[in-house]
A = this chain, B = another copy of it.
Amino acid sequence: MINIGVIGYGYWGPNLVRNFRALDGAKVISVCDRDKEALERVKKEYDTVELLTDSRSITDSPKIDAVVIATPVSTHFELAKRSLENGKHIFVEKPFTSNQKEAESLIALAEKKKLKIMVDHTFLFTPAIKKIKEIIDNDMLGQLYYYDSTRVNLGLFQHDVNVIWDLAPHDFSGMDYLIKEKPTAIVATGSGHFHRDLEDIAYITVYFDSNIIAHFNVNWMSPVKIRTTLIGGEKKMLVWNDLETDEKIKIYDKGVKIDNAESMYKLLVEYRSGDMWAPRLEHVEALKTETKYFLDCIRDNTVPINDGHAGLRVVRMLEAADKSLKKNGSLVKL
């Protein structure tokens, strides 16, 4: 039985508690939050969980085997460090840390202590990403050309981070998982509308040594959500619309050969050039899969796909994007 303590019961915390509780082999024994109202909500739902306001009661507790950290990013490093020092595995909300140094330091500490770090890149455990991974690994798309993601919604303006730190971690972690090659440079542009210094719209281009190109459109200023990713390859192209109910993933054949003027003109007025295929996806909660995987990695001593290094790679991209953004699109090497 792995005893779990959860720090932070805001937006995401309740989902973490619910999923960890439902697992065989784990027990959520304490939840900590500075906010009394949050603890009231825990109490109402789960009467047997210990309620705490001081995070040390979790990070330093001898009863706890693993700490789930679901607090603002600025506090991750401190809480993670204390947990690791006290011999606990950690499950940390994304983004992993506020900067690369913190991430590197936590990775080193966990390795020394032989403890697991899992960064909550929930995205990687969605049925959609799992299917896309399978499609790419089976070389159905052929050599990859581009990864182009749009993530748009109404944002949360009391944040202390800009839209890149809020929205891009999802897509950066997805790209990091799906594309084997590692990026080499970043260009970011953007604008702030409520606070000039807190960008609420940003456009990020990621270069690779090969001619793959990735692009991320993140935007907090839209009353309607958009969640679309295009992944183009030599053979086929995949469109992932995460808001579709039953056709989240569509794969398009190239279809036609363009060999003369007439076939070109014809193509110009058509909507697509080949057949489309939409694989059925399982309906499983990603966090259910991920929390179970956390327990498995601890028990079997395996390295998670979303370990500290994956978290670090995402943080590195976030820092680079932010730096380029401040310089209106200057290229920043990774």
Contacts and interface: CB of A to CB of B under 8 A. Distances in A.
Contact of A192 (B150, B211, B246): B211
Interface string A249-289: 01011110010010011111111111111111001000000
Given A145-B193, A280-B274, A328-B331, A221 B232 contact: yes
15 contacts: A187-B329, A189-B207, A189-B215, A189-B329, A191-B212, A192-B211, A217-B217, A223-B253, A223-B255, A224-B250, A226-B230, A243-B245, A270-B283, A273-B280, A330-B331
Contacts of A328: 185, 187, 207, 331
B154 A267 contact: yes
A154 B191 contact: no
A237 interface: yes
A249 to B, nearest CB: 10
A317 interface: no
A207 to B, nearest CB: 7
Contacts of A243: 245-246, 271
Interface residues of A, number: 74
Contact of A275 (B154, B269, B278): B278
Contact of A201 (B146, B152, B201, B258): B146
B252 A271 contact: no
A244 interface: yes
Which 10 A-B pairs have CB atoms at the shortest separation, nearest pair first?
A246-B271, A187-B329, A189-B205, A191-B213, A224-B272, A276-B278, A223-B252, A329-B329, A223-B273, A224-B252
A243 B189 CA distance: 28
When all copies of this chain in the complex are counted, the total is: 4
A109 to B, nearest CB: 32
A295 B170 CA distance: 42
A239 interface: yes
Nearest to A266: B283
A239 B243 CA distance: 16
B230 A213 contact: no
Contacts of A319: none
Q: Which of A156, A207, A254, A329 has the most CB of B within 10 A?
A: A329
Interface string A13-55: 0000000000000000000000000000000000000000000
B277 A275 contact: yes
A203 interface: yes
B187 A146 contact: no
A173 interface: no
Nearest to A246: B271
